[in-house]
Amino acid sequence: MREKILTFIEKNSRIDLAELAVILGVEEVDVANELEAMEQERIICGYPTLIDWDKAGIEKVSALIEVRATPQREMGFDKVAERIARYPEVNAVYLISGGFDFLVSLEGKTLREVSQFVSEKLSTIDTVLSTKTNFILKKYKDHGTVMAAPTKDERIMMA
């Protein structure tokens, strides 16, 4: 049941509990219990909203920063990652394979703000060796959702 609940709310976390129970064919109280349990176990870590800020007319600048860092004795990359993650400007931190070590997703109000953060805060962390800032120019798809307006239903009543 957990997988079913998670699969559904991953796309639509705003659904009413009673309705979700009907759709999954289970009791409402069971859904509620499972949700609560999964929140406590931090399987469900939050219910954020997917926003097209451009459309809202509110300026935001996002960037993906490639970071190379020195792993630390006994701690590996974890300590560096925790440090980076602490900044509220940072949306996401991933340890990745390939030519660099971390991919850091950032959001700021202006280009200046983002670059200032990188040069003054991120790069100055002593275990950070180098950074490369990639500004996001346009978001086409985010969290499995295509940002453009949904296409019109062109189906005809045929069969």
Using CB under 8 A as the binding rule, whether residue 22 contacts another protein is answered as: yes
Q: How far apart are CA 95 and CA 66, in angstroms?
A: 10
Minimum CB separation of residue 9 from another protein in Å reads 12
Q: Beta strands of 12-127 (E only): which ranges? A: 61-69, 90-95, 102-108
Residue type, 126: D
Owner of token pair 């976390």: 13
Using CB under 8 A as the binding rule, whether residue 157 contacts another protein is answered as: yes
Among residues 10, 17, 19, 51, which is the contact residue for another protein, using CB under 8 A? 19
Using CB under 8 A as the binding rule, whether residue 141 contacts another protein is answered as: no
Q: Which two tokens stand for residue 3?
A: 């997988």
**Binding map of another protein across residues 64-103, x = CB under 8 A, - = no contact:** ----------------------------------------
Calculate ∠ Cα 136-111-124, nearest 5°.
100
Q: How far apart are CA 135 and CA 111, in angstroms?
A: 8
Query: Total number of residues binding another protein (CB under 8 A)?
Result: 14
Among residues 1, 17, 23, 51, which is the contact residue for another protein, using CB under 8 A? 23
Cβ-based nearer residue to another protein, 4 or 79: 4
Q: Would you say 114 and 133 are in contact if contact means Cβ atoms under 8 Å apart? A: yes
Using CB under 8 A as the binding rule, whether residue 148 contacts another protein is answered as: no
Q: How far apart are CA 114 and CA 89, in angstroms?
A: 9
Cβ-based nearer residue to another protein, 14 or 86: 14
Minimum CB separation of residue 98 from another protein in Å reads 25
Per DSSP, the three-state class of 76 is strand
Name the site residues for another protein (rule: CB under 8 A): 4, 8, 12, 19, 22-25, 153, 155-159
